[in-house]
Amino acid sequence: MKLLVVLLASVALCAGGAIPQIPGDNSHYVEGESRYIWMPDGEGKPHLVDLQAPPEEEILRTRNGANNQYWLYTRHNPTTPQILINGDANSVQSSNFQANRPTAVIAHGWNSDGNSEVNTLITSALLAVDDCNVIVLDWRSAASGLYTTSVLLVPNVGQHLGNFLQWLINTTGSSWTQIHLIGHSLGAHIMGNAGRHVWSQPWRITGLDPAGPQWGGNSNALNRFSGVHVESIHTDGGLLGIMDPISDADFYPNGGRNPQPGCFISTCSHSRAYELFASSVRTNHFVGRLCENFSQAENSQCTGSGLNMGNNILTKRGYVVIVTMSCIFKSRKSLH
């Protein structure tokens, strides 16, 4: 019997350290056990990540939130950004920023930058329906190292973002009631740290499939105390995204797991969260059903009252609710 136990343990160890061969396919992944996982870059290309890789000490010393860039888009400059510089009032006064308008801030995930699809897709959707300020957080400096390094830099990046937003509000006379933070993957946890750094004042935070690997039980993860109203849209839960409800309102389209409609691999399902959100901003047509428990959400068996997923409404509220829904994905064109 003792020999059998040893053999079984060895098999489990080998399985946890096995290198997956199909790019983007994370069907092998077991949270907390697997060493390798495929993660997409800003354009959806899968990269094999070693979750046990030692963080890069040089990058930890030289790259942090001080390297953040803040790109402003408005209806007057919908595709060419104006650069806002923390502490430089002239950079704001000479820009198209309007303090009396809503302000959305978007944060990309690992191995991405300000030009990545998550930013362009959501920015164009927001400006199509609202005369607002859209600020893209480009944190490529801290996002371009090993995943294990970027995870450790997330809190600092978020704290610098919080400081920038507090300065922006003080400088322009804007208000936290006009602020909506939107983050995908690691970007969702950046928004969580930014919100808590400024005493949970952002009026709304939306986490788009908040990153899962190394975030389960992590005190730096996005949570419901990060803002006045916090919501998450889970599309690759248990793999690249967190599956557990972590927000005031947690939405689980199609059960919140891979494969999402139109997807065959995990990396596709992970990106589906921001595609669905961008679509919801334009049309506000995704209506979920309130769940009595988490099991109902996982199995898409909820029958409670309806709640809208996504959209750009700042006054939206949901108090610790779990929502499931079915989203039929036809083509990328249908989201534009």
* Residues with active-site annotation: 185, 209, 270
Q: How far apart are CA 202 and CA 225, in angstroms?
A: 11
Query: Within the chain, where are the H helices?
Result: 2-17, 57-62, 89-93, 117-129, 140-143, 147-172, 186-197, 266-283, 294-298
CB-based burial of residue 236 (10 Å sphere; 0-12 exposed, 13-18 middle, 19+ buried)?
Answer: buried
Of 332, 147, 117, 137, give the one whose Cα is nearest residue 240. 147
* Residues forming beta bridges with residue 181, ordered by sequence position: 105, 205
Looking up tokens 């969260």, which residue turns up?
273
Residue type, 213: P
- The alpha carbon of residue 188 and the mean position of all alpha carbons in its chain are separated, in whole angstroms, by 3
Q: How far apart are CA 96 and CA 119, in angstroms?
A: 19
β-strand 69-74 against 77-84: which pairing, if any? antiparallel
Residue 26 CB coordination number (10 Å) = 24
Q: How far apart are CA 151 and CA 318, in angstroms?
A: 29
Q: How far apart are CA 3 and CA 203, in angstroms?
A: 58
Helix pair 117-129, 266-283: axis angle to 10 deg: 10
Question: 192-221 b/e with 16+ CB inside 10 Å = b?
Answer: bbbbbbbebbbbbbbbbbbbbbbbeeeebb
CB 102 within 8 A of CB 132: yes
Tokens of 74: 């408005």
